Amino acid sequence: MIEILSSIFARELALPLSESLKAGFPSPAADYTRQSLDFNKDLIRHPEATFYARVSGDSMIEAGINDGDIAVIDRSLDAAQGDLVVAFVDGEFTLKRIDFSHREEGYILLHPANPNYKDIRIEGDETFEVWGVVIWTIRSWRK
């Protein structure tokens, strides 16, 4: 079962933000920061409708989302073609890329990002809801 947590926090958390981050050799001028970043204020547009969930499984690894990552989900957004969504299908939550291109044919698809998994075809006899749109993912690079 997925544990979903609210994104509403009482305090501000301002962290230094560098103007640029180069992946090559560092510049001596890059040792200073001008701005700060507050995850709660700068990355979350709709705090009352935004939730966090820990990803379980490997069905989205080719989208860069791994087991244990944290998905930031905005429930106030309408899903658009190709969005990563948290869907509620037959009593279970799943994270997949949504494909509306077959609507006129009577179904939509939920695509995994791992060739070991099959698409989920939603035709109408399933209990289905797009629960929210994934707007960010957070990964710990240190285990």
Catalytic residue among 20, 59, 101, 140: 59
Residue 96 a catalytic site member: yes
Q: How far apart are CA 2 and CA 53, in angstroms?
A: 7
Q: How far is CA 134 from CA 17, 72, 100, 110, 131, in A?
A: 23, 6, 17, 14, 10
Whether 136 and 72 have beta carbons less than 8 Å apart is answered as: yes
- Work out the widest C-alpha separation in the chain, in whole angstroms: 61
Q: How far apart are CA 138 and CA 66, in angstroms?
A: 10
Catalytic residue among 96, 101, 140, 143: 96
Catalytic residues, which ones? 59, 96
